[in-house]
Amino acid sequence: MKNTQAIAQVLAKKGLLLTATTALSLAAVTTFTHAPAHAFCIELPGLRLGCDGGTTPVTPPSAPKYSVTQKNPHTRSVVQRFGPVDKETATKKQQEFQRTHYAIFRYAGIGEQVHTRAFSSSYAAQNYLTSKGPCRDANAFGICVLDLQQVRPAIVEMTQVN
């Protein structure tokens, strides 16, 4: 008999506690629903409650994006542009672009233009000039005179887009 009376008392106390908690929760809800929107603002990771009058998901700030540009060292004109991408991908592309070298040459003569040609490495560009590549490109016999021969690396720039 004592056990059933003790259990009944515990249940009554828990029921009273539950009723009080429920009443306080309802009072808080009615108070906050009648308050202005700026009076109640809770920010949780990934969720904002009541900050702008409703529930809106928080958009995390986006990671900065980068763009990589390769330019001709003689004319400084843009040859290639890559991006916008994340920093790791942009760094890899920047290293790839930095390997590019240009053979810059001019045929001897009055009013001749400066020519450029891109190569994947400085060795390939220098080999093109030393093996008379521009002369072979100019005529079938490979006979010509060059008054300018240079190998220069490409101009590579990485910029943040955001």
Percent of the chain with pLDDT over 70: 64
pLDDT for residue 2: 64
pLDDT for residue 156: 94
List, for the chain, all residue ranges whose pLDDT scores fall below the cut of 50: 11, 16-18, 20, 23-24, 26-27, 30, 35, 37-38
> pLDDT tens-digit profile of 92-106?
999 999 999 999 999
CA distance 159 to 146: 37
What's this model's pTM, rounded to 2 decimal places? 0.59
- 59 Cβ contact list (under 8 Å, min separation 6): none
